[in-house]
């Protein structure tokens, strides 16, 4: 009996020690990341990039992201292969993904407004849209968004201000349609407004994207789902040093929307600046390569470049009466 109690005591102590080590490691890693203001200089929205942002190349393609990679010795035994310095895997990578984004959201709460070039590509209405590039202005209180398309439906404008315009979004179409059709006033979550977007305008911007990802990470961790994840340090997107998180989901029962996600987080601001989501393949794609599978199952791609958080936007930037906008026509 004493021997059994001693064994149980040792086992309990081992679990406590492992938990303490895990918590300490997360604490050290988390507090070593210090978000600082974006370093973009104020610039004219009109001269922002007109071309789609190049898709970053992800060289790391593990077969099992939850387990350490192994190599075979000559005698048939295995040894763990060296990982890239700073790489996290499994539950620790999921937790770090969530903690960094939470820290980024706290920083963003101190920023009243910002401007950015927003690029998006979405699977809507049974088809993947062409890449769209949009000049975006965002204010947090009251939540306000102005968009102008520079690639896609060039010239189209959208304005939404919480509590104004009957809580409707104003849309002025681009090109010839904009000359013939008056400004539309649409319910942000109505069927007409959602025909060309996976999310309503009320979910636009960097903060909403970060909060959406945080929600998925909390689900993964709380329900202990079989989500494989790896964090890769020393990655770059749009010239910024980033951490890249690659998550693979176990099956459609645990994740009915996503099979895989790729998230680039800016090291300075802890904000997501490039995100891609991939769905589940249709029948007949069992022999597809990983590259072909990603190409066929892309359901959303978002990026934020030229971010300027020192813009100090005037109230007129979110007014339908702004003389530089076309909503009065």
Query: Which tens digit of pLDDT belongs to each residue from 31-42?
Result: 555 565 544 444
Please say if the pLDDT value at position 71 is more than 60: no
- Local structure of 17: helix, strand or coil: helix
pTM above 0.85, yes or no: no
Closest CA to 280 of 252, 246, 245: 252
Burial class (CB in 10 A: 0-12, 13-18, 19+), 266: buried
For 115-153, give one letter per residue: b (16+ CB within 10 A) or e.
bbbbbbbbbeeeebbebbbbbbbbbeeebbbbbbbbbbb
Helix then strand count (H, E) for the chain reads: 5, 15
Q: Label residue 291 by pLDDT band (50, 70, 90).
A: confident
Cβ contacts of residue 194 below 8 Å, gap of 6+?
A: 200
* Residue 172 CB neighbours (<10 A): 22
The mean per-residue pLDDT over the stretch 76-101 comes to 74
Q: Report which listed range, 27-31, 86-90, 200-204, is most confident.
A: 200-204
Element (H, E) at 307: strand 298-308
Which residue is associated with the tokens 């439906």? 153
Closest CA to 228 of 63, 66, 61: 66
Both tokens of residue 90? 């499994």
Phi, psi of 182 (to 5 degrees): -70, 170
**pLDDT top residue among 46 and 51:** 51
Helices (H), the chain: 2-31, 90-108, 175-180, 206-222, 290-297
Closest CA to 273 of 233, 232, 247, 307: 307
Beta strands in 78-162 (DSSP E): 78-80, 88-89, 113-124, 127-128, 132-139, 144-151, 157-161
- Mean pLDDT estimate for the chain: 82
Burial class (CB in 10 A: 0-12, 13-18, 19+), 327: buried
Both tokens of residue 230? 């790896």
The mean per-residue pLDDT over the stretch 270-278 comes to 97
Both tokens of residue 13? 């102590």
Asked which of 37-41, 75-79, 127-131 is least confident by mean pLDDT, the reply is 75-79
The mean per-residue pLDDT over the stretch 5-21 comes to 49
The mean per-residue pLDDT over the stretch 158-178 comes to 93
Helices (H), 234-321: 290-297
Phi, psi of 199 (to 5 degrees): -130, 150
Q: What is the pLDDT of residue 68?
A: 41
């Amino acid at each position: 009996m004493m021997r059994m109690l001693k064994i149980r005591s040792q086992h309990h102590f081992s679990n406590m020690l492992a938990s303490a080590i895990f918590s300490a490691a997360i604490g050290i890693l988390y507090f070593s990341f210090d978000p600082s203001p974006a370093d973009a200089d104020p610039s004219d929205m009109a001269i922002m990039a007109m071309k789609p942002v190049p898709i970053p190349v992800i060289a790391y393609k593990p077969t099992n992201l939850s387990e350490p990679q192994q190599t075979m010795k000559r005698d048939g035994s295995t040894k763990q292969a060296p990982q890239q310095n700073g790489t996290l895997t499994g539950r620790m990578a999921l937790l770090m993904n969530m903690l960094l984004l939470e820290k980024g959201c706290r920083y963003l709460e101190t920023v009243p407004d910002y401007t950015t070039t927003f690029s998006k590509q979405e699977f809507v209405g049974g088809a993947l849209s062409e890449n769209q590039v949009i000049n975006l202005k965002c204010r947090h209180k009251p939540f306000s968004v102005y968009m102008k398309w520079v690639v896609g439906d060039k010239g189209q404008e959208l304005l939404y201000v919480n509590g104004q315009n009957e809580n409707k979004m104003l849309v002025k179409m681009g090109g010839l349609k904009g000359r013939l059709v008056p400004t539309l006033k649409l319910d942000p979550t109505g069927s007409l407004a959602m025909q060309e977007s996976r999310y309503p305008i009320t979910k636009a911007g960097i903060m909403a994207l970060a909060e959406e990802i945080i929600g998925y990470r909390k689900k993964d961790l709380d329900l202990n789902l079989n989500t494989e994840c790896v964090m890769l340090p020393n990655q770059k997107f749009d010239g910024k040093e980033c951490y890249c998180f690659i998550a693979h989901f176990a099956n459609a029962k645990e994740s009915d929307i996503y099979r895989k996600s790729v998230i680039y987080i800016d090291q300075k601001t802890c904000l997501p600046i490039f995100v891609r989501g991939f769905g589940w393949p249709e029948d007949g794609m069992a022999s597809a390569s990983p590259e072909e599978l990603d190409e066929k199952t892309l359901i959303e791609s978002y990026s934020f470049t030229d971010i300027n958080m020192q813009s100090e936007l005037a109230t007129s930037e979110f007014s339908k009466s702004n003389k530089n906008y076309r909503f009065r026509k």
